Structure 1
Amino acid sequence: MGPPPEPGFPAWFDPDRDLVLTPKKLKGLTHPIRLRLLELLQQEGPATATALAARIGRSSGVTSYHLRVLADNGFIVEDTDRGNARDRFWRAPHRSMGFTLRMPDDPGRPENMEATGRYLRIVAEEIYRRIQTGIDLLMSDPGDVAAAPWRLDDWPLRLTAGEARDLGRQIGELASRYRRAPGDPDPRPGTVRAYYQLQLLPDEPPPQEQEQSP
């Protein structure tokens, strides 16, 4: 076992099994196709470039290029137990990943904010894509919309920094009770894969910045 999770990560996060991303470790990942490919390999298991290309609607040549970049930067490895000389399988050595600016050896600094902002915006675009996919799935069967359990909420709050951290921690602890790792058996009938997405973001500058504004 590695050290306990860094503050802000859920209790299930294990540094030996989950990837901790920091600004210096973003090289090769700040591209929407690469982030999507890595998440698919983490969530759905090993796959070939051809299968992944069909999954994301891209050519196998484009997909192969981005897989090589991911491999060159250590995000994925070849699955030597599968495939043959013609069909190479790739797998993600980590089951999931999380990003932080609070690691002592690689904190957020002005010189790494450009890469950090680019990565976070790609993540936000992926969150938006999932929302649109979820809405499309709901609308595909209008008769079930009223009884569906899914939600899309937006609650305006007023929080101190401490309250925001506490709220995020409590929500993370609750959501983690329902988490299942890829491949985990789940015998419950009616289980479907879903994403719980949380965005807790400021909508105005902190009070001290407001006071300094002309």
Structure 2
Amino acid sequence: MTEKSPPPEQAAPARNVRHLDPRTLRGIAHPLRMRILGSLRLDGPATASQLAERLGESSGATSYHLRQLAEYGFAEDDPELGKGRERWWRAITDGTYVDNDLARSTDPEVRGAYATFMHEHAGNHAAEVATWIATGQDWSEEWIEASDISDFTLSLTPALAAELKAKLHELAESYRALAPKDGTPNTAKVRLHTHLIPTRPTD
């Protein structure tokens, strides 16, 4: 029996990636929870009120969903900031990995949660690209030239597509070691999206 290679997201030892199972998938597959967790990972620790302001939601809603994220092991209290009356929250892991096998689960609830998770994930990607297009003029010419929105059409077998996916992930992960030190001028958090998908079934 051939062992399955670890997913590229889990290959980098410096990253703490949560591998979803049916229970945790159902726990995270909610649009607001995914947005809250994404904000905690990208923007750092926050209170329910701060997240409500960031996301245009009520603090009651963000507070409830933060508790749900904590119950499923995605968020926790930040002891360094949680002083006084305000409760600060932080993400427990750096990323999330969902196995495509969950899309073929015999449990319709799990399949539904997988669909919700993936649709919201794709929607977040689209929103990030739309935000860049709307605010690109606020960035320097250097950053505008460094940015990219491209697509490619290739003829591949599943094996070649899997190889390409692995190489793309490996290349992206290799840049973590090159990250500038805190305080380096003209440094920004960069979001890199990859969508490697077949366009139509073949015989």
Runs of 4+ in 1 over 6 A off after TM superposition: none
What's the secondary structure of 1:133's corresponding residue? helix
The aligned runs of 1:1-214 (5 Å cut-off) are: 6-9=6-9, 11-12=11-12, 17-101=16-100, 108-111=104-107, 112-140=110-138, 144=141, 148-179=145-176, 185-186=181-182, 188-207=184-203
Deviation at 1:107, TM superposition (A): 8.1
TM, length-normalised to structure 2 = 0.83
Higher helix residue share: 2
How many Å separate the matches in 2 of 1:81 and 1:147? 36
What's the secondary structure of 1:156's corresponding residue? coil
Deviation at 1:144, TM superposition (A): 3.5
How many Å separate the matches in 1 of 2:143 and 2:40? 34
TM, length-normalised to structure 1 = 0.79
How many Å separate the matches in 2 of 1:22 and 1:14? 22
Deviation at 1:201, TM superposition (A): 0.9
Unaligned runs of at least 5 residues, structure 2: none
Count of aligned pairs = 198
Deviation at 1:7, TM superposition (A): 3.3
Q: Deviations over 1:172-194 (max 9, x none)?
A: 111112237x9x83454321111
What is the aligned-residue RMSD (CA, Å)?
A: 2.9
Q: Deviations over 1:29-70 (max 9, x none)?
A: 111211111122223332111111111122212211211221
Unaligned runs of at least 5 residues, structure 1: 208-214
How many Å separate the matches in 1 of 2:181 and 2:51? 24
How many Å separate the matches in 2 of 1:28 and 1:176? 27
